[in-house]
């Protein structure tokens, strides 16, 4: 029962719209022919009838203008005369009241006195050239007779895009299909202007085609130049792109927004605000694909919110980061000054003066890096933040790999105060990481369990060899010592 009902509905849909074929493809369609105007009610003047066959001066000269109430495609004009006399006839049409009048049909008086037709019908010959589109008709009759009645039939001018029409509405309105609009379907709907509007023909329905606006705009306009440049494929330009999109197809983000790659372009969240730091960034615009703001000199970070390696924060909003002065200051108090402090007793794990780097020692390090210390600043009461540039990674941290290049490292103030680490800005160090885990394992932390040795170029080669041995599996069974909890940076 349900199947029968569904079939019936589908059939109803398919047969219900003559502008689409059963497969849903658009096709040429026409509204029905209707009676558009009729008149006049018996305008046979008495004199006309009386004068029949008597005096040439009493000939009738009847003229009638019919307003159709809109612009229509005429299919026939029927005229009935008062007598079967021989009328001379001039039929004209106009687009608007008052003309200009276009001659449709002229026929001279019937030769022979009587016996002409009581009724004549004018039909435009088929074909697009002889089509008659008119809002007003003028009938002029001369001869031995008057006009008894006139009837005009035609259909709404819907340009092949409608099968239904409100012919008596003012103005007559086609029920437009194929995504057209207007009283006579003479333009494309605002969302469907990718191609130029064209009237449908029996061979080609010329439907209006949608613009591709990625669901961010409801309107578009047709640009003939773009259409030409595309080789006749697409000419629509989306208007009023929403959700911070821009462009002909609303396919990229407005300035001040960037394209979130995790969202499809059709998503309302496809474009994200840039969030550039008001002081660190130059303007509020960021890279459309990466979200990177453009930073002032010395500033770094995606939003330009911190100073880069070798720069330190200043009070100037124009230059919020300034180059660290070349003259270096020790990061630690003079060696030994505090190490006599009782609190420092047995605090540092300072090795003998020379470090003998064997494979087993190498394997026990959490990491082995060559890095340059660029600058330092206090980061709270317990920590000092160093800007470092990692120049080489000989042994990688197992859990959180260290990347070469500029980054931050943290040192506990206490470890510096006791002289466990001696670091000077501008100098190169071999950094050995003793195992100790803080609660922020992603951070690079230097502390008293590690070592910072002023770099010697002659170390490079043996370290490379140790690195190769480790890669070849030489460290199996010689893991770093068990991590010890450390304070939080
Ligand atoms: C009707 O009379 C006018 C002049 O009054 C003339 O110009 C016109 O041709 C006449 N029409 C016919 C059909 O004889
Ligand atoms: C934006 O970032 C991408 C990738 O990070 C890069 O290839 C592109 O050149 C950048 N564009 C501009 C205008 O800087």
* CATH code at position 127: 2.60.120.260
Query: Residue 3 has what pLDDT?
Result: 42
Asked if residue 265 is part of any domain, the answer here is no
Please name the residue that has the structure tokens 């006399």. Answer: 85
Asked if residue 215 is part of any domain, the answer here is no
Ligand 2 center to 371 CA (angstroms) = 28
Tokens of 218: 């409801």
445 and 408 share one domain: yes
C-alpha separations of 300 from 296, 373, 383, 390, 400 in Å: 8, 17, 21, 17, 22
Task: Please indicate whether residue 316, judged by its CB atom, sits closer than 6 Å to ligand 2.
Answer: no
User: Which amino acid residue places its CA nearest to atom 2 of ligand 1?
Assistant: 61
For residue 351, give every residue at least 6 positions away whose Cβ sits within 8 Å of its Cβ, in sequence order, or none. 451
Q: Which of 395, 374, 377, 381 is nearest to 328 (CA)?
A: 374
User: Which amino acid residue places its CA nearest to atom 14 of ligand 2?
Assistant: 287
Query: Residue 418 has what pLDDT?
Result: 78
Which ligand has the shortest distance to the CA of 252? 2
Q: Which of 143, 148, 236, 250 is nearest to 192 (CA)?
A: 236
392 and 306 share one domain: no
Ligand 2 center to 305 CA (angstroms) = 19
- Of 156, 173, 197, the last residue of a domain is 156
Query: Residue 333 has what pLDDT?
Result: 39
Ligand 2 center to 248 CA (angstroms) = 21
Query: Residue 109 has what pLDDT?
Result: 65
Please name the residue that has the structure tokens 């239904």. Answer: 164
- Of 156, 179, 194, the last residue of a domain is 156
Report the distance separating Cα 213 and Cα 219, nearest Å.
9
Tokens of 344: 């420092």
Q: Which residues of the chain have pLDDT under 50?
A: 1-14, 47, 49-58, 327-338, 482-489
Query: Residue 201 has what pLDDT?
Result: 93
Query: Residue 325 has what pLDDT?
Result: 73
Report the distance separating Cα 279 and Cα 258, nearest Å.
20
Report the distance separating Cα 272 and Cα 418, nearest Å.
48
Query: Residue 33 has what pLDDT?
Result: 94
Query: Residue 41 has what pLDDT?
Result: 55
For residue 67, give every residue at least 6 positions away whose Cβ sits within 8 Å of its Cβ, in sequence order, or none. 37, 97, 135, 136
Total Cβ atoms within 10 A of residue 294: 14
359 and 465 share one domain: yes
- Of 114, 141, 156, the last residue of a domain is 156
309 and 357 share one domain: no
- Asked if residue 452 lies in contact with residue 421, where contact means CB atoms within 8 angstroms, the answer is yes
365 and 448 share one domain: yes
- Tell me the best of 288, 289, 292, 293 to mutate to test the pocket of ligand 2, counting ligand atoms within 8 Å of each CB and taking the most: 289
Query: Residue 45 has what pLDDT?
Result: 61
**Number of residues that make up the chain:** 489
User: Which amino acid residue places its CA nearest to atom 6 of ligand 1?
Assistant: 61
Partners of residue 329 on adjacent β-strands: none
Query: Residue 53 has what pLDDT?
Result: 47
Kind plus residue range of the DSSP H or E element containing 222: strand 219-222
291 and 396 share one domain: no
Query: Residue 8 has what pLDDT?
Result: 38
Asked if residue 377 is part of any domain, the answer here is yes
Query: Residue 375 has what pLDDT?
Result: 84
364 and 445 share one domain: yes
Query: Residue 334 has what pLDDT?
Result: 39
316 and 393 share one domain: no
Please name the residue that has the structure tokens 């035609």. Answer: 154
Asked if residue 312 is part of any domain, the answer here is yes
Query: Of all atoms in ligand 1, which is nearest to the CA of residue 140?
Result: 13
Q: Give the burial class of 241: count Cβ atoms within 10 A of its Cβ; 0-12 exposed, 13-18 middle, 19 or more buried.
A: buried
- The count of domains in the chain is 3
Prediction pTM value: 0.56
Task: Please indicate whether residue 261, judged by its CB atom, sits closer than 6 Å to ligand 2.
Answer: no
Asked if residue 261 is part of any domain, the answer here is no
- Asked if residue 236 lies in contact with residue 222, where contact means CB atoms within 8 angstroms, the answer is yes
Question: Which residues form the domain of 384?
Answer: 351-474
Report the distance separating Cα 242 and Cα 42, nearest Å.
64
């Amino acid at each position: 029962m349900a199947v029968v009902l569904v079939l019936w509905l589908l059939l109803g849909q398919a047969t219900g719209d003559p502008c689409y074929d059963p497969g849903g493809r658009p096709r040429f369609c026409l509204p029905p022919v209707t009676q558009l105007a009729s008149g006049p009610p018996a305008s046979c003047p008495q004199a006309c009838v009386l004068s029949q066959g008597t005096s040439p001066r009493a000939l009738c000269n009847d003229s009638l203008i019919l307003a159709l109430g809109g612009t229509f495609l005429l299919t026939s004009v029927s005229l009935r005369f008062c007598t079967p006399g021989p009328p001379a006839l001039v039929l004209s049409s106009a687009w608007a009241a008052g003309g200009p009048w276009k001659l449709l049909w002229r026929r001279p008086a019937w030769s022979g006195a009587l016996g002409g037709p009581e009724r004549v019908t004018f039909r435009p010959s088929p074909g697009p050239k002889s089509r008659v589109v008119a809002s007003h008709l003028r009938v002029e009759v001369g001869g031995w007779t008057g006009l008894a009645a006139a009837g005009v039939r035609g259909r709404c001018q819907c340009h092949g895009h409608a099968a239904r029409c409100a012919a008596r509405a003012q103005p007559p309105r086609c029920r437009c299909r194929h995504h057209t609009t207007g009283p006579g379907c003479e333009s494309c709907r605002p969302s469907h202007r990718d191609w130029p509007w064209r009237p449908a023909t029996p061979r080609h329905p010329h439907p209006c085609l949608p613009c591709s606006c990625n669901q961010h705009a409801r309107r578009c306009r047709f640009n003939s130049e773009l259409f030409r440049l595309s080789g006749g494929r697409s000419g629509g330009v989306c208007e009023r792109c929403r959700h911070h999109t821009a462009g002909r197809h609303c396919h990229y983000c407005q300035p001040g927004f960037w394209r979130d790659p995790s969202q499809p372009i059709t998503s309302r969240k496809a474009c994200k605000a840039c969030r550039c730091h008001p002081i660190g960034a130059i303007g509020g615009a960021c890279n459309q694909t990466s979200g990177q703001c453009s930073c002032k000199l010395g500033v770094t970070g995606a939003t330009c919110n911190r100073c880069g390696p070798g720069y330190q924060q200043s009070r100037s909003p124009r230059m919020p980061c300034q180059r660290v002065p070349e003259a270096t200051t020790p990061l630690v108090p003079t060696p030994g000054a505090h190490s006599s402090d009782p609190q420092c007793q047995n605090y540092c794990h300072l090795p003998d003066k020379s470090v003998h780097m064997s494979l087993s020692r190498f394997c026990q390090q959490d990491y082995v890096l060559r890095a340059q210390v660029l600058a330092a600043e206090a980061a709270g009461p317990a920590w000092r933040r160093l800007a470092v540039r990692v120049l080489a990674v000989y042994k990688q941290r197992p859990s959180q790999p260290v990347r070469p290049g500029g980054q931050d490292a943290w040192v506990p103030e206490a470890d510096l105060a006791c002289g466990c680490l001696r670091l000077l800005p501008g100098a190169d160090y071999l950094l050995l990481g003793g195992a100790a885990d803080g609660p922020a394992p992603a951070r690079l932390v230097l502390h008293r369990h590690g070592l910072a040795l002023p770099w010697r170029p002659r170390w490079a080669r043996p370290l490379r060899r140790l690195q190769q041995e480790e890669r070849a599996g030489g460290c199996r069974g010689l893991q770093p010592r068990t991590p010890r909890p450390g304070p939080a940076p």
